[in-house]
Amino acid sequence: MANKFQQRTAALLELIPEQYDGALIISEVNGYYFTGFNCDNGYFLATKNGCAYITDSRYTEAARKAIAWCDVEEYGSGKMKQVCGGAISKLGVERLLVESSRMTLQQYGDMSEVFEPALLSGDGGLDSFIQALRVRKDAEEISFIKAAQAISEQSLKYVLGLIREGVSEAELAFEFEFHARRMGAERLAFDSIVASGENGSMPHAVPGGRRIRRGDLITFDVGTVVGGYHSDMTRTVAYGKVSDEQRKIYNIVLRAQQEAMDYLISGGDDLAECDAAARDVISAEGYGQYFGHTTGHGVGLEIHEFPTVSFRGGKIPTGAVITVEPGIYIPGKYGVRIENMMYKTEKGAVNLTGMDRELVELG
Ligand SMILES: [Mn+2]
Residues 170 and 308 in one domain: yes
What pLDDT, on the 0 to 100 scale, is given for residue 77? 82
pLDDT score at 124: 84
Q: Which residues of the chain have pLDDT under 50?
A: none
Among 111, 134, 157, the domain boundary falls at 134
Q: 294 C-alpha to center of ligand 1: Å?
A: 10
- Taking the centre of ligand 1 as the mean of its atom positions, its distance from the CA of residue 338, in whole angstroms, is 10
Asked if residue 186 and residue 84 are part of one domain, the reply reads: no
Q: Ligand 1 mean position to 322 CA, how many Å?
A: 9
Q: What is the pLDDT of residue 76?
A: 86
CA of 34 to the centre of ligand 1 (A): 25
Helix, strand, or coil (residue 95): strand
Residues 160 and 23 in one domain: no
Distance 326 CA to ligand 1 centre (A): 10
Does 95 lie in the same domain as 152? no
Separation of alpha carbons 120 and 324, rounded Å:
38
Q: How many whole angstroms separate alpha carbon 48 and alpha carbon 92? A: 10
Supply the pTM of this predicted model. Answer: 0.96
- Compute, in angstroms, the gap from residue 224 CA to the centroid of ligand 1: 12
- Full strand arrangement of the beta sheet holding 71-74: 71-74, 50-55, 43-47, 22-25, 95-98, 119-121
Cα 100 to ligand 1 centroid, rounded to whole Å: 25
- Tell me, what's the pLDDT at 240? 97
- Sorted by sequence, the CB contacts under 8 Å of residue 181 that are 6+ apart come out as 187
CA–centroid distance, residue 72 to ligand 1 (Å): 37
Q: How far is the CA of 256 from the centre of ligand 1 (A)?
A: 16
257 lies in the same domain as 296: yes
What order of strands is seen across the sheet that includes strand 187-188? 187-188, 224-226, 229-230
- Tell whether 119 and 214 lie within a shared domain: no
**Of the residues 85, 117, 134, which one is the last residue of a structural domain?**
134
233 C-alpha to ligand 1 centroid (Å): 7
Model pLDDT for residues 165-200, shown as the tens digit of each residue? 999 999 999 999 999 999 999 999 999 999 999 999
Q: Separation of 352 CA from ligand 1 center, angstroms?
A: 13
Contacts (Cβ under 8 Å, ≥6 apart) of 182: none
| Average model confidence (pLDDT) across the chain | 97
Side chain identity at residue 192, one-letter code: S
Nearest CA to 138 out of 264, 302, 320, 265 is that of 320
Do 337 and 193 lie in one domain? The reply is yes
Residue 278 CA to ligand 1 center (angstroms) comes to 15
73 and 156 part of one domain: no
Q: How far is the CA of 279 from the centre of ligand 1 (A)?
A: 16
Task: Give residue 293 CA to ligand 1 midpoint distance, Å.
Answer: 11
User: How is residue 252 annotated by DSSP?
Assistant: H
* Cα 328 to middle of ligand 1, angstroms: 15
Rounded CA gap, 313 and 308, in Å?
A: 8
DSSP state of 205: P
Instruction: Examine the domain organization and report whether 13 and 54 are in the same domain.
Output: yes
Rounded CA gap, 200 and 332, in Å? 9
Q: What is the pLDDT of residue 192?
A: 98
Range of the structural domain that residue 50 is part of: 4-134
Do residues 126 and 145 both lie within one domain?
A: no
Q: How far is the CA of 234 from the centre of ligand 1 (A)?
A: 7
Give 212 Cα–ligand 1 centroid separation in angstroms: 24
Residue type, 70: C
- Check which CATH number belongs to the domain holding 22 and give it: 3.40.350.10
Number of structural domains found in the chain? 2
pLDDT score recorded for residue 1: 78
| Cβ pair 169, 202 in contact under 8 A | no
Peptide bond into 117 cis (omega under 30): yes
Sheet holding 305-309, edge to edge: 305-309, 296-298, 321-324, 340-344, 349-351
Q: How far is the CA of 240 from the centre of ligand 1 (A)?
A: 26
Question: Where residue 192 sits, what CATH number does that domain have?
Answer: 3.90.230.10
Select from 116, 134, 152 the last residue of a domain.
134
Peptide bond preceding 307: is omega within 30 degrees of 0, i.e. cis? yes
Residues 69, 30 share a domain: yes
Same domain, 168 and 129: no
